[in-house]
Amino acid sequence: MFCGQHHSFLCVLIACAALIPARAEPSGYILGPDDQVKIKAIDIPEIGDTALRIDLQGGMTIPLIGRVQAGGLTVQQFENELVSRLKKYVKDPQIAVTITEFGSQPVSILGAVNKPGVHQLHGRKTLFEVLSLAEGLRNDASNTIKITRQIAWGKLPLPTAVVDESAGFSVGEVAVNSVLEARNPQENIPIMPNDVITVPKADLVYVVGTVKKSGGFVLAGKKQISALQAVALAEGLDRAAAPDHARIIRGPEDHRTEIPVDLSKVLSGKGPDLPLYANDILFVPSSTAKKVGYRAMETALQLTTGILIWR
C-alpha cells in the first residue's frame, strides 16, 4: 500500500495500461519458469499452433516430442532444440517460437520503498504495479524514479532516456507526480526482466528545537520552502519557544554557517521570511524564563488538581 504523499497509487492508470503494446523479447532473453510460449510448426498437425507454459522445473511436454527443457535457453536455442528433436519425424521441420506471456522474472527495486530488494515479475507489469510489489514509496521518497534497463530490451520509452552503449544500458527518469496527476500517464511504462528501479530519498529540511513536531520534512519536488512554511510543517512553535532567536543552520558539518531569523517578526509579517534549501536546519531555541514560568504554572495546576481530587 502506498503511503503519505503517494497514497493515490491505488488503481493508477489501469485504463492507460491497456493501450501499451505487448513487449517483444530481445534476442538474448533467457526463458524461465512460468513463461508461456507459442510453438508454430508448419505441416506438423500434432503441434500446429500450440501455446504452452514452462513449468517450475523449466520444462514442458510437447506433442510428438515429449518433455523438453526450455528454461535457461534463448528463444533461438529452444527453436534449434525443437528442430533437432523433430528431424526424426520430419525431413526439414519449420519451427517458430514466440513468447506470448512473460512469467517469473527478476526486477530490482531499490531506495526509498517500503520493501526494497529483488521482486519477481509475473506476467506483464507496469512501473506503478511493480512499485506496489515493494509495498509502495516511503514518505521520504523523492518525486523522481530512475529506471535502468539492459539495452537488449531497447531504449526506454521515456523522453528523458539516454543510452550508454559501452555499458549496455538505457537509463531514464519518471516524475511520480506527473504520472499520478495524469499529465504524463504514458510514462507508466511496462517493466522488463532485470530492470533496476531506484527511488532516491527526497530532499529534506529539518526543524528542531522548541516546536511541536521536530523532524525532517520533504521538499516534495520544490527547491526551497520559507521559514514560515517550515514552522507550519512542524505544527507551530512550542509555548516555551524564543522565536526571535531562531536561526537557519546551513552547509556540511565541518563548514556550517548560521543565519539569524526572527520568527516573531516573520509571524507578524514585519520581517523577511527567509528560504530554506535541502538539508537546511531551522533551529528554534527555548526561552529559559518562559520555561521556569510554565513549570511553576504546571506545578500549581497539579497541586490544585490534587487538592480537588483529595476533597
Q: Quick one: 16 and 70 in the same domain? A: no
Q: Is residue 300 part of a domain?
A: no
Last residue of a domain, one of 101, 133, 154: 101
Q: Is residue 295 part of a domain?
A: no
Q: Is residue 29 part of a domain?
A: no
**Contact predicate 169/151, CB 8 Å:** yes
Q: Is residue 259 part of a domain?
A: yes
Query: In three state form, how does the secondary structure of 115-127 look?
Result: CCEEEEEECCCEH
C-alpha–C-alpha distance, residues 302 and 263, integer Å: 32
Give me the CATH number covering residue 109: 3.10.560.10
Q: Quick one: 150 and 16 in the same domain? A: yes
Contacts of residue 87, defined as CB under 8 A and 6 or more positions apart, other chains included, come to: 93
pTM above 0.75, yes or no: no
Q: Quick one: 88 and 113 in the same domain? A: no
Q: Quick one: 228 and 150 in the same domain? A: no
Give me the CATH number covering residue 55: 3.30.1950.10
**13 vs 234, residue with greater confidence:** 234
Please name every residue paired with 211 in a beta bridge, in sequence order, or none if there are none.
237
Last residue of a domain, one of 139, 170, 199: 199
What rounded mean pLDDT belongs to the chain? 82
Q: Is residue 261 part of a domain?
A: yes
Give the residue numbers spanning the domain of 163: 4-20+104-199
Q: Quick one: 11 and 121 in the same domain? A: yes
Q: Is residue 235 part of a domain?
A: yes
Q: Quick one: 84 and 223 in the same domain? A: no
Q: Which helix (H) or strand (E) is 305 found in, with range?
A: helix 288-310
Q: Is residue 255 part of a domain?
A: yes
Res 171: pLDDT: 95
| Span 300-304, average pLDDT | 49
C-alpha–C-alpha distance, residues 95 and 169, integer Å: 32
Last residue of a domain, one of 199, 232, 265: 199
Q: Quick one: 86 and 122 in the same domain? A: no
The predicted-structure confidence for 10-59, as pLDDT tens digits, reads as follows 344 434 444 344 455 555 678 888 888 999 988 888 887 888 999 888 89
Q: Quick one: 96 and 41 in the same domain? A: yes
Q: Quick one: 212 and 257 in the same domain? A: yes
**Structurally, how many domains does the chain consist of?**
3
Question: 156: closest CA among 195, 183, 212?
Answer: 195
Q: Quick one: 170 and 277 in the same domain? A: no
Q: Quick one: 188 and 235 in the same domain? A: no
Q: Which three cell numbers stand for residue 214?
A: 521536530
The predicted-structure confidence for 148-201, as pLDDT tens digits, reads as follows 998 878 899 999 999 988 888 999 999 888 887 888 889 999 998 889 999 998
Q: Is residue 136 part of a domain?
A: yes
Q: Quick one: 212 and 171 in the same domain? A: no
Q: Which three cell numbers stand for residue 300?
A: 500549581
**Contact predicate 84/106, CB 8 Å:** no
